[in-house]
Amino acid sequence: MTKPNRFWHVALSGLVLLLCSEDAWAKSRARSSPRLRLPSVEQQILDQERERAEAAPVAPQEAPPAPPAVTYLFESLFAYENRGADPGGKSAESLYNASALTGFARLDEAFSVTGRLRFEPVAALEAGQGLLPPSTLYLEVLQLRWRHGAVDVFGGKIHPRFGWALDNLPGIYAGTAAADYEMRERLGAGTRLRLHQILGLPEALGRLSVQLEAFGADNSPLSYGAFHPRWLQSKAVTDPTSGETSYNNIQRWTSSVEVGGAGNNGSLGSMVASLGADRIVIPGGQLGYTGALAWQKPGDDAASLGRPATEFGAVGTVFAKFPLPWDVTLEPVLELAKRDQAGGLEGLTVTWSTAAATLSRGGIGITYAALSRRENDTRSVSEATIRQNVLNLSVDFEELTGVKALKPISAFIDARQIRQSGNTVNGMAVGLQVSLSF
């Protein structure tokens, strides 16, 4: 049975806090809601360096202080999650930690190296693993970047730019739909052109960039996960007597072409072309957008099933920020994504949508998100749709209290309702996040 009260109590409680927060809290510098993922490793660190430079007192004839040669950003999340009871009456809960350490080293005026270590529950195994799920430590990003004027060239273990919502919505549920199509841990290279600099666009038109990346799945030793295997290989087994085929899951420490998936064929034959802009001045606020097209070659798993096809993907996002009365800020987001021949499988089409809005005031933010995932397989003549409603209440303790010592600490409460085939499952999560830069 559905229990709507659990879902809506978060929204009602958060709305009261939002409207009752004091004006003094609302006048402090706005900061984003807690994020479990960082959208751009290098850009976020550069933004922090710029903030430090702007905060430092500089004499009129004195040059601004040079940024440090090496900068680190550490984020750690402690969370409790209860996924609620499924139609069979089974529920799952977990208590876990997810952390990331990002390092940015400036080698000279042109070259830099960026790396990120991540510790988190094993995604493919976390369901049904008890209160303390197995976790793994692995290298998520390691790239060398060359920058000259408005041009960047980079290569290594990269994170192709495809989608926006996963990295920028608060909590752990609002970006669930986007997690399906995000591209992580790819070996390849790319280039970015900052068109606003090349074309000399006015500041009101925002920061505009185009990016092109070529890559393949990381099957190198860099895909290794410490403490626990982090990859699942599904292997077909045919019974010699009945002729029936079943699948066994094999745990692997490193990835390989046998793991399967689009782009996992041992080559760099996959590509993403993307365009993005933010900080565009519009009447009453600011606007941003991203768009990307992707082509990924089929993996060995698609070939073994006799239906390999090149996957074509597209994603588009529009996001904005508007100041409202009573020092409230509204931040709406709409992201749509589609993959034809999804996973490199001929005839499989998957579409996703994420529509979200955040109201924030004085260190308190409330986010509502409506998510959907629709899958259509013409080969098996099947169709399935999953819909989710998500509520998030986030608290930034420095902005709420004005105490600078609390700047690294934030917290959130998530509530989620999943609907599929007439069944409804409620879930919730609470988390405390710490962010430190040094």
Q: Which CATH number fits domain 4-55+67-437: 3.40.50.300, 2.60.120.260, 2.40.30.260, 2.40.160.10?
A: 2.40.160.10
Q: Which backbone phi and psi does 390 adopt, to 5 degrees?
A: -130, 135
Contact (CB, 8 A) for 371 and 387: yes
pLDDT of the residue at 247: 67
Dihedral (C-alpha) 103, 107, 111, 114: value to the nearest 10 degrees? -10
Q: Write out pLDDT tens, residues 232-252.
A: 777 666 667 766 666 677 788
- The whole-angstrom separation of Cα 383 and Cα 372 is 13
pLDDT of the residue at 86: 63
Contact (CB, 8 A) for 270 and 263: yes
pLDDT of the residue at 139: 94
pLDDT of the residue at 369: 95
- The whole-angstrom separation of Cα 273 and Cα 215 is 12
- The whole-angstrom separation of Cα 17 and Cα 15 is 5
Nearest to 36, CA basis, from 81, 68, 85: 81
Q: State the DSSP code for 345.
A: B
Q: Write out pLDDT tens, residues 85-124.
A: 666 666 678 888 999 999 999 998 899 999 999 998 886 5
238: part of which helix (H) or strand (E)? strand 231-238
**Beta-ladder partners of 245:** 238
pLDDT of the residue at 92: 76
pLDDT of the residue at 68: 59
Q: State the DSSP code for 39.
A: S
For the chain, domain boundaries: 4-55+67-437
pLDDT of the residue at 93: 83
**Beta-ladder partners of 99:** 76, 119
Angle CA 217–218–220, to nearest 5 = 145
The stretches in the chain having pLDDT less than 50 are: 1-6, 8-39, 42, 45-46, 49, 52-54, 56-60, 125-127
pLDDT of the residue at 196: 92
Question: CA dist 197 to 74, 151, 276, 435, Å?
Answer: 31, 10, 14, 32
b/e sequence 123-154, b meaning 16+ C-beta within 10 Å: eebbeeeeeebbbbbbbbbbbebebeeeebeb
Contact (CB, 8 A) for 337 and 163: yes
- The whole-angstrom separation of Cα 13 and Cα 11 is 6
Structure tokens at 265: 């064929």
pLDDT of the residue at 75: 93
pLDDT of the residue at 21: 42
